[in-house]
Amino acid sequence: MTTIQFPADFLWGASTAAHQIEGNNLNSDWWQREVEPGSRLAERSGDAADSYHRYRDDIDMLAASGLRSYRFSVEWARIEPERGMVSRAELAHYRRMIQYCLDAGVTPLVTLHHFTNPRWFVRDGGWLDPGAPDLFARYVETVLPILDGVSHVFTINEPNILAMMIGGEKGEEQLQAGALPAPDPVATEHLIAAHRRAVDLVRTTGIPVGWPVAPQQFFADPGAEEVLRAYAHPRETVFLEAARGDDFVAVQAYTRTRITLDGPQPAPEGAEVTLTGWEYYPPAIAEAARLGHEITGLPVLVSENGIATADDARRIDYTRDALRHLHEAMEEGTPILGYLHWSLLDNYEWGSFRPTFGLASWSPETFERLPKPSLAWLGGVARDGRLDVD
Ligand code: BGC
């Protein structure tokens, strides 16, 4: 058994996103998509984990485990439920969350946009509309006054995945197994413009700002390097390049994707796959961190990494190995600021509650929080920054 030591100022925590845990996010485009007749989504988010009301339980649970940082998102659809109409009460709600973290000795990190949009924004053209960056910037300005005490701000979560979701919504493409939709190029341009606007605005507060990109750890068969480059460029490279000049780059990774001359391939026959159907591949996050640093030259913050599994012991295996690889990357010179696990809670995985990523589950009847052994394990690692590996 070997023990590895992380730096004393390494940031240890867990992440969540509003729509996936709060419940009843009625004014968001995802809620609308879930309830519309003929919705193709298997489940609705409904009450989710009711974290809108139970955030204190969540923060207390995180703090009790030994973790010291909590990344959560503020919900644009609550703060601006109709175009130009700001809810002071919802701003006060998120301020209370930030304050509750600070009072509990937990460092809050805030995401301004995590996949969901207000319904009115989508009605008026969404990310395809040239006015989108202005509308986002106006919302960001509204949020700035509540951010006091926040350690890091993330502008738009996984803009690369969001641009692919928007591209995929057109439904024109026939996707081969293992392939990701082509990102919409107009949405890409507007997301990058919105990010730049948000960075300038957040900088007026002095809080470090960046955005979390989700690289897919593409690896090429011999001869398929050019196929890889062309496939990866619109799906991740441009978004990492757009982070140059930020205060840090955040990365989120779960698995890898093989690229052959025929393009991307699904997880190989016989490979261990998780509840999302992704190949079990713990080195993913270290590879993502190296790539993020190589492209941007910035320090890297791991803002998500985890595994959808019903076997909590496997979650610990995965996380231990992911951390070991991250530590190696740090020793080789990649500056890594911290590790935020996805996710604190089992949550609404964009259409289904079945892929359980949580360090804790909850009772669907009472919403009582039920920490899993992995939460105490990760909190224990966080307490002294020491990790036992084989
Ligand atoms: C997202 C999360 C999601 C997780 C697992 C990331 O793509 O930011 O919202 O639940 O990965 O799929």
Does 116 sit in the ligand 1 pocket, CB within 6 Å?
no
Q: What is the pLDDT of residues 36-54, one digit of tens each?
A: 999 999 999 999 999 999 9
3-class state of residue 292 by DSSP: helix
The token pair that represents 292 in the structure block? 């993020």
Q: What is the pLDDT of residues 6-28, one digit of tens each?
A: 999 999 999 999 999 999 999 99
Q: What is the pLDDT of residues 261-310, one digit of tens each?
A: 999 999 999 999 999 999 999 999 999 999 999 999 999 999 999 999 99
> Is the CATH number 3.20.20.80 carried by domain 2-389?
yes
Residues in CB range of 293: below 8 A, 6 or more apart: 249, 299, 300, 334, 335
Phi (first) and psi of residue 134, to 5 degrees: -65, -45
Q: What is the pLDDT of residues 338-368, one digit of tens each?
A: 999 999 999 999 999 999 999 999 999 999 9
Percent of the chain with pLDDT over 90: 97
Active site residue 141: no
Give the separation between CA 111 and CA 154, rounded to whole angstroms: 4
Residue of 158, 236, 287, 304 with catalytic role: 158
Does 214 sit in the ligand 1 pocket, CB within 6 Å?
yes
User: What pLDDT, on a 0 to 100 scale, did the predictor assign at position 167?
Assistant: 95
The token pair that represents 114 in the structure block? 């995590």
- Please state whether 24 falls in left (phi above 0), alpha (psi between -120 and 50) or beta: left
User: What pLDDT, on a 0 to 100 scale, did the predictor assign at position 172?
Assistant: 64
User: What pLDDT, on a 0 to 100 scale, did the predictor assign at position 390?
Assistant: 83
Residue spans of alpha helices (H) in the chain: 18-21, 29-35, 51-65, 76-79, 88-103, 119-123, 132-143, 159-169, 185-203, 225-232, 238-241, 284-296, 312-331, 373-384
Stretch 90-117: mean pLDDT: 99
> Which of 304, 307, 353, 357 maximizes ligand 1 atoms within 8 Å of its Cβ, making it the mutation to test the pocket?
304
Is residue 176 very low, low, confident or very high in pLDDT (cuts 50, 70, 90)? confident
Q: What is the pLDDT of residues 125-173, one digit of tens each?
A: 999 999 999 999 999 999 999 999 999 999 999 999 999 999 998 776 6
Stretch 199-215: mean pLDDT: 98
Distances (CA, A) of 352 to 18, 71, 115, 288: 15, 22, 15, 26
User: What pLDDT, on a 0 to 100 scale, did the predictor assign at position 293?
Assistant: 98
Tokens 């738009």 locate to 156
Q: What's the number of CA atoms in the CB half-sphere (13 Å) around residue 175? A: 17
**Where are the domains positioned within the chain?**
2-389
Percent of the chain with pLDDT over 70: 99
Residues in CB range of 240: below 8 A, 6 or more apart: 213, 215, 249, 291, 292, 295, 296
Whether 82 shows a pLDDT value over 70: the answer reads yes
Does 374 sit in the ligand 1 pocket, CB within 6 Å?
no
Q: State the pTM of this model.
A: 0.98
Q: Whose CA is nearest to atom 12 of ligand 1?
A: 349
Stretch 374-384: mean pLDDT: 98
Is residue 174 very low, low, confident or very high in pLDDT (cuts 50, 70, 90)? confident
User: What pLDDT, on a 0 to 100 scale, did the predictor assign at position 273?
Assistant: 98
Residue spans of alpha helices (H) in 124-241: 132-143, 159-169, 185-203, 225-232, 238-241
One-letter identity of residue 109: L
